[in-house]
């Protein structure tokens, strides 16, 4: 694979992670509740007085370490997912350039925008084929080590983090219900429009990245 195509894949990955962070902030700005994981992250940020994106990064790092302990090497996309979504989330919230609305109908509409944006962001970063994000990796790790279905595991994880996040003071509202029920449909809708099948994506591993960097070093010596 030539370097130009690899550079484009990294561009897709980083753009996807940026848009993913934007979708998170848009959902929060609607002030109707947020995605289950963000309820958890917001609860943690309240308890430990850290920024939302920082809480996101900490949890991502913990999940990556658990996976590594169980023998699953993270891909470059896993590492960048952990670092950049949290970094971008903090940056977007600090710059405060995304609008907020008082009209309830527009606020509900912005939840739809956040779901579609998250779906497109997922298409970009999954399509770059650099590995699953930490939370998707956790889902796959549990799937491989239990006899439960992917749907059961995903729902169990999201319900668990939602309950814990609520206990920690994370915001839950009608928006949480809309996002929890609608995000999967939004992702499927966008993937169908773009004719994107995740089964056709061959992800690069950490070993693939190390081998590429070694070749670049040798070539430049």
From first to last of the 221 residues of the chain, give the pLDDT tens digit. 444 488 888 999 999 999 999 999 999 999 999 899 999 999 999 899 999 999 999 999 999 998 888 877 788 888 999 999 999 999 999 999 999 999 999 999 999 999 999 999 999 998 888 887 888 878 878 877 888 776 788 788 888 999 999 999 998 999 999 998 888 889 889 989 999 887 787 777 667 667 766 776 766 66
Confidence at residue 130, expressed as pLDDT on a 0 to 100 scale: 87
pTM: 0.87
Q: What span, in angstroms and rounded, lies between the C-alpha atoms of 116 and 213?
A: 35
CA 8 to mean position of chain CA atoms: 20
Confidence at residue 95, expressed as pLDDT on a 0 to 100 scale: 96
Q: Look-up: residue for tokens 């081998």?
A: 211
Confidence at residue 92, expressed as pLDDT on a 0 to 100 scale: 97
Q: How far is CA 116 from CA 103, 104, 141, 161, 191, in A?
A: 20, 19, 27, 22, 10
Closest by Cα among 123, 152, 168 to 20? 123
SS3 113: helix
Angle at which helix 134-145 crosses helix 150-167, to 10 degrees, equals 120
Confidence at residue 2, expressed as pLDDT on a 0 to 100 scale: 47
Q: Are 108 and 42 in contact (CB under 8 A)?
A: no
Q: What span, in angstroms and rounded, lies between the C-alpha atoms of 1 and 24?
A: 33
> Token digits for 42?
């917001």
CB atoms within 10 A of CB 129: 18
Q: What span, in angstroms and rounded, lies between the C-alpha atoms of 69 and 45?
A: 26
């Amino acid at each position: 694979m030539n370097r130009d195509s690899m550079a484009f894949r990294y561009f897709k990955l980083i753009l996807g992670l940026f848009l993913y962070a934007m979708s998170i902030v848009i959902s929060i700005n609607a002030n109707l509740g947020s995605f289950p994981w963000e309820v958890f992250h917001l609860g943690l940020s309240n308890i430990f007085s850290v920024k939302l994106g920082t809480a996101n990064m900490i949890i991502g790092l913990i999940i990556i370490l658990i996976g590594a302990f169980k023998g699953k090497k993270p891909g470059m996309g896993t590492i960048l997912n952990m670092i950049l979504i949290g970094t971008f989330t903090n940056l977007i919230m600090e710059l405060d350039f995304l609008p907020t609305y008082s009209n309830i109908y527009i606020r509900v509409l912005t939840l739809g925008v956040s779901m579609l944006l998250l779906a497109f962001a997922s298409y970009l970063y999954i399509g770059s084929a650099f590995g699953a994000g930490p939370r998707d990796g956790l889902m796959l790790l549990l799937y491989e080590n239990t006899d439960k279905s992917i749907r059961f595991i995903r729902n169990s994880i999201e319900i668990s983090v939602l309950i814990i996040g609520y206990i920690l003071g994370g915001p839950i509202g009608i928006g949480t219900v809309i996002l929890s029920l609608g995000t999967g449909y939004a992702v499927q809708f966008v993937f169908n429009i773009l004719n994107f099948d995740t089964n056709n994506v061959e992800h690069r591993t950490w070993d693939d990245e190390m081998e590429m960097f070694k070749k670049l070093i040798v070539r430049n010596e």
